[in-house]
Structure 1
Amino acid sequence: MRLAGGFYGFLEDLHHPDTGLPLPPPTKTSKAHLRAFVPGAELDVLKAFGGTGSFALAELELSPKPEREKQGDPFACKVRPLTLKPFTSVPESWMRVQHREAANQPLILASIREALEEQLRRETADTVTKLRGETADAEAKLREARSALDAAVLEKRSLDGVHERSLRAIAELTERVAALDAEFLHRRVTLEGRLRELEALLRERGERLVALELLDRTDLEKVVPTTGRADARSGHRFQDALGGDFRQLAAYVQAHLWHKDTRYTRAQLLDFLTLLRTRDLIVLAGDSGSGKTSLVKSVASAIGGRCTVVPVNTTAS
Structure 2
Amino acid sequence: MEDMSLNYDKNYAEGLDDEALYKCLYEAWGIQDRRIRVWGRLEVNAQGNWSGIKQAKLLQTNEPIEYPLPNSGELQSGVFLSPNNARTLLNGKNSVFIRCELTLASHQQRQHKDNPFLLSIKPDSVELLTELPKFSTDEVMHSDLSTFISDHIYRHFLTTLENETREAEEKARYKIEQIEAEYEELRQSLTDQTEDIDSELTTLKTEREALQGRLSEFEAKQKIVKNNIELEQSALNAIIEKQQQIEGEMSKKIERLKQYVEEKAGFLKDFEFIDEDVYAELSGEKQVGENVVGGLSFVDDFESDYSQLTSYLQAYLREQGQYYSRHIIENYLTLIRTNDLVILAGDSGSGKTSLVQSFAEAVGGVAKIIPVKPNWTSSEDLLGYYNPLEKKYLATPFLEALLEANQNPEIPYFICLDEMNLARVEYYFADFLSKLEERKQQPEIQLYSDDEAAHVLSELRGVVSIISGAKDKYNKNGVVDFVALMQDEDVNTEMKRAFGFSDKDSLIKYHGDVRRMLAGVIGIPSTITIPNNIRIIGAINIDETTHYLSPKILDRAHIMKFKSPLLTDWHAIEQEIESYGLGDVTKLVRLTVDELGVREPYPVFSPADEFCRLFTALNKEHFHPLGVEFGMRTIRQGLNYRALFKDVNQDDSLILNNFLLHKVLPKFTFDGSKPIGNADKLTHIERVFFTQIEEQLLGLAVADEFSVLEAIKEIVVSAKANEDVVNYWS
Scaled by the length of structure 2, what TM-score is found? 0.13
Larger RCO, structures 1/2 (Cα 8 Å, 6+ apart): 2
Highest CA radius of gyration, 1 or 2?
1
Q: TM-score scaled by structure 1?
A: 0.28
Higher strand share: 2
